[in-house]
Structures are given as structure tokens and as C-alpha cells.
Amino acid sequence: MEFTFDWQAAFASIPHLLTGIPWTLLISFGGLAIGFLIGILFGLLRISPIRWLRWLATIYIEVFRGTPVLVQVLFIFYGLPQLLGGPINAIVAGIAAIAVNSGAYISEIVRGGVQSIERGQREASLSLGLSRTQSFRYIIWPQAFRRMIPALGNQGIISIKDTSLFSVIGVGELVRQGQVYIATTFNALEVYFMVAILYLAITLTLSIVLRQLERKGLVGQ
């Protein structure tokens, strides 16, 4: 059996696939924005001097890092409506899944970033008359955040790829648009090849931006 790759069919699928990119980016960056806020909260709780707060943060982090994002989105989309007594929009479920999943990983990024700042800097700022809050806001956090950016960028790339799983709940993202197009053309190989290329284009763009920031000394040490 002779195999041929139909480049014309592959390129013909691009306009249809592009309609899924806005949803992919909306879910990714919407979820990451919320996940970043969650990550800051639980990352700081993780290093809190109050023991039960540390345990609360640890439980959250271990639960959401220890379970697949696919299971999380299925629970949110199919399970929570039974508890809430009403349906949840698929886009909302996707954003929520990215938020709680990325938030768990970002929590550890925040914890590591804050703890990487030498204790002497905090002590010096306190000796200069700054309060603990001012010391954290003006001395610790700016330096810690700069060191977090590469890891946050990597988490962003992971979350973008995770959205490909949300076709199972009917979200019209990139993979879902590919599935719909395949159902009418039966060009599975060509279409999934272009889906992979589009994901690669998105993630490579983000990787290049991060590398440029590192070269200019805007992130890292």
C-alpha cells in the first residue's frame, strides 16, 4: 500500500484550525493569570510560620500536582454541577482546571523564589526601619519574582499544551477544531500534523521571548 502525505489537505485545514487558537490562548492565559494569584497565596502559606497554614498549602499542592489535569477538568465539568445544582460552561471549566493545576506548580515556584533570597537582605531591610510587609514588597519580592520568570514561562508552556485535553468536554480549542475538521475530510494525519505545528509555533514563540529576556539580563539571577 503506497502512502502519500497530502500537503494540500494539510494547508487547507489551517484556516479552520486557526479558529481554535483564540480559545486555546484564552483558556491558557486566563487560567494562568488566576493560577498565578493562587500560586502566590499558597506559595506564601507554604513558608508561613503558622503550622496549619503550611499544612493547608501542602495538601492543596500535593492534591493538584498528584492528579492529572484531565481528571481535574472532568471533575469540574461533570462532577461539580452535581454539587452546585447547575451546569458549568466548558470554557469556564477549562480555565478553572488550568488555574488550580498551574496554581499548585506556581506555588512551589513562588516558595522557591522567595526562599532563594538571602536572609541577610531581609534582616538588613528590617534594621533600616522597614516593616516586614515593606521588606517583602520592596526588597524580597522584586528579586524573587525576577528569578521566578523562567520557571513561570515553562509552566505557561505546559499549561498551553494541557489545553489539548479539553476537547473531551467540547471546548472549541485547537485539537477540538482539528477533530471537527477530520470528521468531514477524513484527513487525520494531515490535520493532526498541522495541529502539532501550530502548538509548536505557539510554544516556540514563548520560549524565544523567555530566552531573549534572559539574554538581556531581565530575568534570573
Tens digit of each residue's pLDDT (9 = 90 or more) over 174-202: 999 999 999 998 989 999 999 999 999 99
Residue 85: predicted pLDDT: 85
Report the percent of the chain where pLDDT is more than 90.
70
Binning pLDDT at 50, 70 and 90, where does residue 54 land?
very high
Arithmetic mean of pLDDT, 88-109: 96
Q: Which of 87, 96, 110 is nearest to 162 (CA)?
A: 96
Domain 25-171 has CATH 1.10.3720.10: yes
Q: What is the pLDDT of residues 5-33, one digit of tens each?
A: 888 999 999 999 999 999 999 999 999 99
The residue ranges of every structural domain in the chain are 25-171
Q: What is the pLDDT of residue 139?
A: 85
Residues 6+ apart with CB under 8 A from 108: 43, 46, 61, 65
Residue 217 has pLDDT above 80, yes or no: no
What does the pLDDT read at residue 119?
Answer: 81
Mean pLDDT of the 35-55 span? 95
* Residues with Cβ within 8 Å of residue 221, at least 6 apart in sequence: 147
Average the pLDDT over each of 111-120, 182-191, 211-220 and give the range with the smallest value.
211-220
